[in-house]
Amino acid sequence: MFLPRAHAWVRDVPRGFTRTSGGLQILGAAGLIPRAITGVLPWLTPPVAAYGRFVVVPF
């Protein structure tokens, strides 16, 4: 499998770790994008995005 140098770390961590991290990021996007598009509580989008990023980045 070809991976760019920036993503070579994926080979060094367990598969479950990378899948969990990817799944969390997809769920985060799925929760933020509709809120921003529809305008439902738009003031809540930036703090939720910041908190989600704070939770996912350490992974």
- pLDDT-based confidence at 59, cuts 50/70/90? low
Region of poorest pLDDT, from 1-10, 36-45, 46-55: 1-10
pLDDT for 25 equals 80
**Full 3-state SS string of 14-46:** CHHHHHHHHHHHHHHHHHHHHHHHHCCCHHHHH
Q: Closest Cα partner for 32 from 17, 53, 18?
A: 53
In tens, the pLDDT along 14-47 reads 999 888 888 888 877 777 777 778 878 878 878 8
* Predicted local confidence at residue 14, as pLDDT: 92
User: What is the mean predicted confidence (pLDDT) over 44-58?
Assistant: 77
